[in-house]
Amino acid sequence: MKDTFKHQGLRQQLVNILKAKGITDINVLNAIGKIPRHLFMDSGFLDHAYQDKAFPIAADQTISQPYTVAFQSELLQVKKGDKILEIGTGSGYQTAVLCELGAKVFSIERQQELFKKTSKFLPKLGYRAKKLIFGDGYKGLVGEAPFDGVIVTAGAPFVPKPLLSQLKIGGRLVIPVGDDVQIMTMFIRKGQKEFEQEEFGEFRFVPLLEDKN
Protein backbone atom coordinates (compact mmCIF):
# COMPACT_ATOMS: atom_id res chain seq x y z
CA MET A 1 0.00 0.00 0.00
CA LYS A 2 1.90 2.96 -1.30
CA ASP A 3 1.22 6.64 -1.38
CA THR A 4 3.72 8.43 -3.61
CA PHE A 5 4.48 12.05 -4.48
CA LYS A 6 2.72 11.41 -7.75
CA HIS A 7 -0.45 10.39 -5.90
CA GLN A 8 -0.16 13.42 -3.64
CA GLY A 9 0.20 15.71 -6.63
CA LEU A 10 -2.82 14.20 -8.35
CA ARG A 11 -4.77 14.60 -5.13
CA GLN A 12 -3.94 18.28 -4.95
CA GLN A 13 -5.21 18.67 -8.52
CA LEU A 14 -8.42 16.94 -7.48
CA VAL A 15 -8.79 19.35 -4.56
CA ASN A 16 -8.43 22.24 -7.00
CA ILE A 17 -11.09 20.74 -9.25
CA LEU A 18 -13.47 20.45 -6.28
CA LYS A 19 -12.77 24.07 -5.31
CA ALA A 20 -13.53 25.14 -8.88
CA LYS A 21 -16.80 23.21 -8.70
CA GLY A 22 -17.82 25.18 -5.62
CA ILE A 23 -16.67 23.21 -2.57
CA THR A 24 -15.49 25.72 0.04
CA ASP A 25 -15.30 23.86 3.37
CA ILE A 26 -11.59 23.84 4.13
CA ASN A 27 -11.81 20.83 6.44
CA VAL A 28 -13.50 18.79 3.73
CA LEU A 29 -10.93 19.88 1.13
CA ASN A 30 -8.08 19.04 3.50
CA ALA A 31 -9.55 15.59 4.16
CA ILE A 32 -9.76 14.86 0.42
CA GLY A 33 -6.22 16.18 -0.02
CA LYS A 34 -5.02 13.77 2.62
CA ILE A 35 -6.84 10.48 1.98
CA PRO A 36 -5.17 8.08 -0.49
CA ARG A 37 -8.28 7.38 -2.60
CA HIS A 38 -6.32 5.08 -4.93
CA LEU A 39 -5.98 2.57 -2.09
CA PHE A 40 -9.77 2.31 -1.79
CA MET A 41 -10.10 1.05 -5.35
CA ASP A 42 -9.26 -2.17 -7.10
CA SER A 43 -5.81 -2.04 -8.61
CA GLY A 44 -7.00 -1.85 -12.22
CA PHE A 45 -8.41 1.58 -11.55
CA LEU A 46 -5.36 3.09 -9.88
CA ASP A 47 -4.74 5.55 -12.69
CA HIS A 48 -8.28 6.87 -12.41
CA ALA A 49 -8.37 7.34 -8.66
CA TYR A 50 -7.92 11.09 -8.75
CA GLN A 51 -10.36 11.89 -11.49
CA ASP A 52 -13.59 13.37 -10.24
CA LYS A 53 -15.56 10.24 -11.10
CA ALA A 54 -17.35 7.35 -9.44
CA PHE A 55 -15.78 3.90 -10.03
CA PRO A 56 -16.76 0.28 -9.58
CA ILE A 57 -15.73 -1.51 -6.37
CA ALA A 58 -16.65 -5.03 -5.25
CA ALA A 59 -20.20 -6.48 -5.26
CA ASP A 60 -21.40 -4.30 -8.18
CA GLN A 61 -21.17 -1.15 -6.06
CA THR A 62 -19.33 2.11 -6.64
CA ILE A 63 -17.02 4.43 -4.75
CA SER A 64 -18.85 7.77 -4.93
CA GLN A 65 -17.55 10.61 -7.07
CA PRO A 66 -15.23 12.87 -5.00
CA TYR A 67 -17.43 15.89 -5.73
CA THR A 68 -20.44 14.05 -4.34
CA VAL A 69 -18.51 12.99 -1.23
CA ALA A 70 -17.34 16.56 -0.72
CA PHE A 71 -20.81 18.00 -1.36
CA GLN A 72 -22.54 15.69 1.11
CA SER A 73 -19.78 16.15 3.70
CA GLU A 74 -20.08 19.93 3.41
CA LEU A 75 -23.86 19.79 3.91
CA LEU A 76 -23.44 17.69 7.06
CA GLN A 77 -21.32 20.43 8.74
CA VAL A 78 -19.45 17.95 10.91
CA LYS A 79 -17.89 19.29 14.09
CA LYS A 80 -15.17 17.43 16.02
CA GLY A 81 -16.69 14.76 18.22
CA ASP A 82 -20.04 14.70 16.36
CA LYS A 83 -21.79 11.36 16.28
CA ILE A 84 -22.43 10.55 12.61
CA LEU A 85 -24.30 7.62 11.08
CA GLU A 86 -23.39 6.63 7.54
CA ILE A 87 -25.61 4.33 5.47
CA GLY A 88 -23.64 2.44 2.79
CA THR A 89 -20.04 1.96 3.94
CA GLY A 90 -18.96 0.61 0.54
CA SER A 91 -15.24 1.17 0.02
CA GLY A 92 -15.01 3.19 3.24
CA TYR A 93 -13.85 6.35 1.46
CA GLN A 94 -16.67 8.53 2.80
CA THR A 95 -16.13 6.91 6.21
CA ALA A 96 -12.48 8.01 6.08
CA VAL A 97 -13.53 11.58 5.21
CA LEU A 98 -15.84 11.61 8.24
CA CYS A 99 -13.02 10.28 10.44
CA GLU A 100 -10.70 13.04 9.15
CA LEU A 101 -13.39 15.58 10.08
CA GLY A 102 -13.17 14.31 13.66
CA ALA A 103 -16.52 12.52 13.74
CA LYS A 104 -17.38 9.46 15.76
CA VAL A 105 -18.54 7.35 12.85
CA PHE A 106 -21.06 4.52 12.79
CA SER A 107 -21.46 3.02 9.34
CA ILE A 108 -23.82 0.35 8.03
CA GLU A 109 -23.28 -1.86 4.94
CA ARG A 110 -25.62 -4.56 3.67
CA GLN A 111 -23.19 -6.39 1.35
CA GLN A 112 -21.23 -8.84 3.46
CA GLU A 113 -18.29 -8.95 1.07
CA LEU A 114 -17.82 -5.18 1.26
CA PHE A 115 -18.47 -5.08 4.98
CA LYS A 116 -15.68 -7.61 5.60
CA LYS A 117 -13.23 -6.08 3.17
CA THR A 118 -13.68 -2.52 4.42
CA SER A 119 -13.67 -3.57 8.11
CA LYS A 120 -10.18 -4.94 7.58
CA PHE A 121 -8.94 -2.18 5.32
CA LEU A 122 -9.86 1.04 7.16
CA PRO A 123 -7.87 0.33 10.37
CA LYS A 124 -4.82 -0.46 8.22
CA LEU A 125 -4.91 3.15 7.05
CA GLY A 126 -5.43 4.35 10.61
CA TYR A 127 -9.15 5.12 10.22
CA ARG A 128 -11.05 3.84 13.21
CA ALA A 129 -14.79 4.17 12.94
CA LYS A 130 -16.60 3.75 16.26
CA LYS A 131 -18.48 0.87 14.71
CA LEU A 132 -18.91 -0.73 11.28
CA ILE A 133 -22.13 -2.68 11.10
CA PHE A 134 -23.32 -5.40 8.74
CA GLY A 135 -27.02 -4.72 8.42
CA ASP A 136 -29.87 -2.77 6.90
CA GLY A 137 -29.49 0.98 6.78
CA TYR A 138 -33.24 1.57 6.36
CA LYS A 139 -33.55 0.91 10.10
CA GLY A 140 -30.76 3.26 11.15
CA LEU A 141 -29.05 2.35 14.41
CA VAL A 142 -31.50 2.86 17.21
CA GLY A 143 -29.14 1.66 19.96
CA GLU A 144 -26.67 4.47 19.23
CA ALA A 145 -29.18 7.24 18.46
CA PRO A 146 -29.53 10.19 18.55
CA PHE A 147 -27.01 11.39 15.95
CA ASP A 148 -25.70 14.83 15.07
CA GLY A 149 -25.80 13.79 11.45
CA VAL A 150 -26.91 10.97 9.18
CA ILE A 151 -25.51 10.59 5.66
CA VAL A 152 -26.95 8.17 3.10
CA THR A 153 -24.58 7.25 0.26
CA ALA A 154 -27.03 5.25 -1.88
CA GLY A 155 -30.12 6.44 -3.74
CA ALA A 156 -33.15 6.12 -1.48
CA PRO A 157 -36.55 5.56 -3.14
CA PHE A 158 -38.11 7.30 -0.10
CA VAL A 159 -36.90 8.83 3.15
CA PRO A 160 -36.73 6.10 5.81
CA LYS A 161 -38.56 7.36 8.93
CA PRO A 162 -36.06 5.89 11.44
CA LEU A 163 -33.30 8.06 9.96
CA LEU A 164 -35.31 11.20 10.76
CA SER A 165 -36.35 10.04 14.21
CA GLN A 166 -32.75 9.15 15.14
CA LEU A 167 -31.54 12.76 14.68
CA LYS A 168 -30.79 15.08 17.57
CA ILE A 169 -32.66 18.38 17.59
CA GLY A 170 -30.50 20.50 15.26
CA GLY A 171 -29.17 17.34 13.59
CA ARG A 172 -28.98 16.91 9.80
CA LEU A 173 -29.93 14.10 7.45
CA VAL A 174 -28.29 14.29 4.02
CA ILE A 175 -29.93 11.86 1.62
CA PRO A 176 -30.24 11.47 -2.15
CA VAL A 177 -33.92 10.72 -2.81
CA GLY A 178 -35.27 9.18 -5.99
CA ASP A 179 -35.21 6.12 -8.23
CA ASP A 180 -33.19 6.57 -11.46
CA VAL A 181 -32.02 10.06 -10.57
CA GLN A 182 -31.88 11.39 -7.05
CA ILE A 183 -32.40 14.83 -5.58
CA MET A 184 -29.88 15.60 -2.87
CA THR A 185 -32.05 16.48 0.09
CA MET A 186 -31.19 17.79 3.54
CA PHE A 187 -33.47 17.65 6.58
CA ILE A 188 -32.65 19.65 9.70
CA ARG A 189 -34.52 18.60 12.82
CA LYS A 190 -36.08 21.67 14.40
CA GLY A 191 -38.23 19.97 17.00
CA GLN A 192 -39.72 16.64 18.00
CA LYS A 193 -41.89 16.55 14.87
CA GLU A 194 -40.56 19.54 12.96
CA PHE A 195 -38.10 19.27 10.09
CA GLU A 196 -36.78 21.87 7.71
CA GLN A 197 -36.17 20.48 4.22
CA GLU A 198 -33.89 21.79 1.48
CA GLU A 199 -33.05 20.39 -1.98
CA PHE A 200 -29.75 20.62 -3.86
CA GLY A 201 -30.17 19.29 -7.38
CA GLU A 202 -29.65 15.99 -9.14
CA PHE A 203 -27.15 13.25 -8.37
CA ARG A 204 -26.84 9.59 -9.37
CA PHE A 205 -26.19 6.80 -6.89
CA VAL A 206 -26.50 3.02 -6.80
CA PRO A 207 -29.80 2.16 -5.13
CA LEU A 208 -30.42 1.83 -1.41
CA LEU A 209 -31.71 -1.74 -1.39
CA GLU A 210 -34.16 -3.39 0.94
CA ASP A 211 -32.81 -5.78 3.53
CA LYS A 212 -31.78 -9.17 2.18
CA ASN A 213 -30.94 -10.82 5.49
| Catalytic residue positions, numbered | 64
Considering beta carbons, is residue 88 or 178 the nearer one to ligand SAH? 88
DSSP string of 96-117?
HHHHHTT-EEEEEES-HHHHHH
Rg from Cα positions in the chain: 16
Helix, strand, or coil (residue 19): helix
- Give min distance, CB of 181 to ligand SAH, in A: 16
Q: Give the distance from CA 172 to its chain's centroid.
A: 14
| Least Cβ distance, residue 68 to ligand SAH (angstroms) | 9
Comparing CB distances to ligand SAH, the nearer of 95 and 189 is 95
- Do residues 93 and 64 make contact, with C-beta atoms less than 8 angstroms apart? yes
**Residue closer to ligand SAH, measured from CB, 153 or 166:** 153
CB of 109 vs ligand SAH, minimal distance in Å: 5
- Identify which of residues 48 and 190 has a Cβ nearer to ligand SAH in the complex: 48
Q: How far is the CB of 55 from ligand SAH (least distance, A)?
A: 9
- Residue 192's φ and ψ, nearest 5 degrees, are -50, -45
Tally of CB atoms within 10 A around 141:
20
φ/ψ (deg, to 5) at 156: -95, 125
Q: State which residue, 143 or 191, has the beta carbon closest to ligand SAH.
A: 143
Greatest distance between any 2 Cα atoms in the chain: 50
- Least CB distance from residue 132 to ligand SAH, whole Å? 11
Footprint on this chain of ligand SAH (rule: CB under 6 A): 61-64, 87-88, 90-91, 93-94, 108-111, 114, 136-138, 153-154, 206, 208-209
- Is the sign of the CA dihedral 44, 49, 51, 55 positive or negative? positive
How many residues does this entry show for the chain? 213
